[in-house]
């Protein structure tokens, strides 16, 4: 069983022959995807040895060593070219938006991308738009007090202006996300308002973002 966040990520993965989970940690996602028949094979990578050892135990306990390969790699770096080319979908989840961006900058791919940033979400949206990745779908979920978002994207080479909520599934989690974002922005603006020398550029950015969120919220039926 996956937790709510991993389940949201799992649901975004298209039917595949081979998926590659970058920064797989425990390998739960890849194991679930293979067991459920969403993919025939998986490559699960991690930067660190410890998570790979935990992954190896989990893969072996599920008797999936012939279907899931493990690899130590910083982002795409050590992934062999033939595996990279045959991958249908790369998953990069549970990391900061800047780390995800750094991984994407490391090697060009036009395969499906499932991305789940833990922070710097707007910055990642801007990078994706500028670098020619189209956001096909964006989803939200809550787990306890936390609210998460994930993206399904694909490279089309068209550099565009970032549309922060492109592809968003406008359900109750989306509107909960907007409310939480509004609170965060209002708190940040209040902090700037108290500063002796306020950061006017940051204030302007936050005010623009606030307007976008208010407009999105008005669409709630």
Contact call for residues 17 and 40 (beta carbons, < 8 A):
yes
Contact call for residues 180 and 186 (beta carbons, < 8 A):
no
Rule CB under 6 A: choose which of 13, 95, 141, 178 binds ligand SAM. Answer: 95
Choose between 22 and 213: whose C-beta lies nearer to ligand SAM. Answer: 22
Choose between 113 and 213: whose C-beta lies nearer to ligand SAM. Answer: 113
Choose between 152 and 213: whose C-beta lies nearer to ligand SAM. Answer: 152
Closest CA to 140 of 111, 162, 164, 157: 164
Closest CA to 175 of 124, 127, 131, 140: 140
How many CB atoms are closer than 10 A to CB 218? 7
Choose between 42 and 99: whose C-beta lies nearer to ligand SAM. Answer: 99
Under the binding rule (CB under 6 A), the answer on residue 99 touching ligand SAM is yes
Cα 174 to Cα 150: distance, rounded to the nearest angstrom? 11
Q: 75-94: which residues touch ligand SAM (CB under 6 A)? A: 75, 93-94
Segment near ligand SAM (CB under 6 A); pick from 41-49, 119-127, 152-160, 167-175: 41-49
Q: Least separation, in Å, of the C-beta of 31 and ligand SAM?
A: 12
DSSP state letter for 47: S
Under the binding rule (CB under 6 A), the answer on residue 55 touching ligand SAM is no
Rule CB under 6 A: choose which of 4, 40, 64, 74 binds ligand SAM. Answer: 74
Under the binding rule (CB under 6 A), the answer on residue 45 touching ligand SAM is yes
Contact call for residues 48 and 95 (beta carbons, < 8 A):
no
- What ranges in 62-195 are assigned the alpha helix state H? 81-86, 97-106, 121-131, 172-194
Under the binding rule (CB under 6 A), the answer on residue 48 touching ligand SAM is yes
Sites of contact with ligand SAM (CB under 6 A): 6, 22-25, 45-48, 51, 74-75, 93-95, 99, 103
């Amino acid at each position: 069983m996956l937790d709510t966040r991993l389940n949201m990520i799992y649901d975004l993965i298209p039917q595949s022959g081979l998926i590659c989970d970058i920064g797989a940690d425990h390998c739960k996602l890849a194991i679930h995807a293979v067991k459920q028949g969403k993919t025939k094979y998986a490559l699960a990578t991690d930067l660190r040895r410890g998570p790979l050892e935990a992954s190896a135990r989990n893969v072996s306990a599920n008797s999936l060593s012939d279907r899931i390969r493990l690899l130590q790699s910083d982002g795409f770096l050590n992934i062999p070219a033939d595996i990279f080319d045959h991958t249908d979908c790369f998953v990069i989840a549970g990391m900061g938006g800047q780390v995800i961006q750094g991984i994407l900058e490391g090697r060009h791919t036009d395969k499906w991308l499932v991305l789940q940033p833990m922070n710097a979400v707007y910055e990642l949206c801007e990078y994706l738009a500028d670098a020619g990745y189209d956001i096909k779908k964006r989803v939200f979920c809550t787990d306890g007090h936390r609210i998460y978002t994930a993206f399904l994207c694909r490279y089309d080479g068209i550099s565009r202006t970032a549309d922060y909520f492109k592809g968003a599934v406008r359900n109750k989690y989306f509107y909960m996300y907007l409310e939480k974002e509004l609170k965060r922005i209002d708190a940040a603006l209040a902090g700037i308002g108290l500063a002796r020398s306020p950061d006017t550029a940051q204030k302007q950015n936050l005010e623009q973002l606030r307007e976008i969120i208010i407009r999105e919220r008005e669409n709630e039926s």
